[in-house]
Amino acid sequence: MAKLSLMFENKLVKEVPIGNRPVTIGRSPDNDLPVDNLAVSNHHARVYYEGSRLVVEDLDSLNGTFVNDLRVERATLHDGDSIWIGKHHIKVDATADSVIPWDSGRKAAAPKINETMVLDTKARRDMLQQAAAMGERSQFSPGRLKMPTLVVLGGRVDQKEYVLTNKLTVIGRSPMATVRLRGWFKPQVAAQINQRDDGYYLGTGAKIPLVNGSPIQGPTRLNDGDLIEVSGIRMNFIFRE
Amino acid sequence: MQIVSSGVTDVGRVRTNNEDSFRIVEPLSLFVLSDGMGGEAHGEIASTMTVETIEKYCSKMDESKEDADATLQGTVADSWSPRTKRLQDAVFQANLNIFQSAQKHPEQRGMGATVTAGWINGSKLSIAHVGDSRAYLLRTGGLQQLTNDHSLVAEQVRRGILTPQQAEESDMQSVLLRALGAHPEVEVDVDEIDLLPGDVLLFCSDGLTRMVTEPEIAGKLQSETDPATAAQKLVDFANERGGLDNVTVIVARIQEESKGWFSWLRRDSGKKV
């Protein structure tokens, strides 16, 4: 039989089994699992079986119901999940003879790999807002758009400046290169810049580029002002507003 | 351009179902990979629907007419080539199919899928993707990521809230911001990349990248020149590391052009190099 364990500051407050009726959670004493806290709505959430699934449903509470840090309106629960309501933590214990054995092979997975969830628009906004509040530094203030630019200081190329707009920027003699090198003996691909989630990474091509005088050791994240030298070309990587 | 490719999909060591699907359509140089989600094997339905829809849709493209007036489900930027637009449209169609199926069959509600598709025309690669399955390009030893994950943690990295390291250790790596099947419309990322002989393309579900690091992937792709062997070895690698999720890998190698004037002699001899 599955059960919910209400914890407060790591101490067990109350435990209830989950049977055929839904288990209600909220501040009001008529709940199966009463939680005496001002951050908790009178009828905050409920947990019940839907077929073989164990489900938690938020009852339009003010501060929301969270499952493993994710705010939910309705979500499937698995053994080991944590429901957070206000400062209270409710452990879900769904081992042993659950109503119908449900894909028990899945549960053997390490806790890090959760079932994939897609956030709807509102939940996504809420989540990102929370995440932003939790974040230490925000590199991207919405007002200013920074254009990553290569400013050529020396060497034979086809332009004085290149604004990086692509996922992949090739520096070389190849006709499809963004930064086209001139010269018979230049390599097709001397080096390349890959736009990744956290910035622009300079990688080797036929040559090993130098960043601020030192040869790179694998893909290297470029910082504002870095000096890049490769195949006879010298460029500055800068963020222009 | 001559392309040699191969794909492998595996349930992994922990899951009971394989909800990944893939298709390689060699005559078209079309590669599609999809990672399905949703309880009770609905993920399999979603990912199969995805790869089949895209295969069918792209196969119907008529080369002789300008495709710009084909029925487009969503908005497509004009600056892309007809191939890219067609591929994006195929993904819109797949999304709609999954969504409508879940409307008709309520038990399928919540099913969805990621998709990463590549279509090569001459030396141009068109890529379309939704979700956290990836496409990579290995070129002169460096592995470049061609897609941005549509996951919560990746978005947090992009916004400077998390470092890539923190993202990898997060418990919320599976939370997606976009997937096929969730809504009738979906935003599909597309891109075009110029390919060079010697390039190696890798399409993979997160079952690979969760278990194996990028330098390790790059190493394997460089040492195994046969795509079938490379794909199998990458899958084995993921499984050796725990195989916590389904894993699917497609490897496509753009053949080097033969160099020198002896090349026409070699080709005539008809021997496999």
Q: Determine contact, residues A63/A41, Cβ cutoff 8 Å.
A: yes
Tokens coding A33 = 């699992």
**Cross-chain CB nearest to A131 (options B137, B161, B244):** B161
Q: What pLDDT is stored for residue B258 in this prediction?
A: 67
**Cβ separation B146–A132 shorter than 8 A:** no
If pLDDT is split at 50, 70 and 90, which confidence band does A10 have?
confident
β-bridge mates for residue A227, sequence order: A236
Q: Which chain B residues touch A139 with a CB distance below 8 Å? A: 159-160
Contact B39 A109 (CB under 8 A): no
Residue B142: its pLDDT value, please? 84
Question: What residues of chain A lie within 8 A of the CB of B153, using their CB?
Answer: none
What pLDDT is recorded for position B69? 46
Which residues of chain B lie closer than 8 angstroms to A186, CB-CB?
none
Q: What is the pLDDT of residue A64?
A: 87
Nearest to B31 by CA among B147, B142, B184: B147
Cα angle: B41, vertex A78, A2; to 5 degrees? 120
Nearest alpha-carbon partner for B181 in B73, B47, B20: B47
Residue B225 sits at the vertex; the CA angle it makes with B123 and B236, to the nearest 5 degrees, is 115
Question: Above 60 in pLDDT, residue A133?
Answer: no
Q: Which residues 118-137 on chain B approach chain A with CB closer than 8 angstroms?
A: 123, 137
Residue of B nearest to A116 (CA): B174
Separation in Å, CA of A230 to nearest CA in chain B: 15
- CA gap A19, A94 in Å, rounded: 12
The CA distance from B215 to A208, in Å, is 17
Least confident span in A101-115, A187-201, A202-216: A101-115
Predicted local distance difference test score (pLDDT) of residue B170: 85
Residue A121 has a CB neighbour count (10 Å cut-off) of 10
pLDDT above 90 (res B66):
no
CB B160 to CB A176 under 8 A? Answer: no
Q: Is there a contact between A197 and B164 if contact means CB atoms under 8 Å apart?
A: yes
pLDDT of residue A117: 66
Q: Which residue of A has its CA nearest to B35?
A: A116
CA-to-CA distance for A53 and A76, rounded, in angstroms? 7
In chain B, the percentage of residues whose pLDDT exceeds 90 is: 68
- A174 contacts B173? CB cut-off 8 A: no
CB contact under 8 A, A168 and B171: no
Least confident of A15-29, A130-144, A159-173, B179-193: A130-144
CB nearest A192 (choices: B139, B177, B178): B139
Question: Over the stretch B77-109, which tens digit does the pLDDT of each residue have?
Answer: 678 999 999 999 999 999 999 999 999 998 888
CB contact under 8 A, A168 and B137: yes
A118 neighbourhood in chain B, CB within 8 Å:
37, 112, 175-179, 182
pLDDT tens track for A56-79: 998 988 888 888 878 888 888 888
User: How far apart, in whole angstroms, are the C-alpha atoms of residue B155 and residue B230?
Assistant: 31
In degrees, to the nearest 5, what angle opens at C-alpha A66 toward C-alphas A60 and A70? 120
Contact B141 A108 (CB under 8 A): no
- DSSP string over A52-80: TEEEEEE-S-SS-EEETTEEESEEEE-TT
Look up the pTM and report it.
Answer: 0.70
The DSSP code for B252 is E
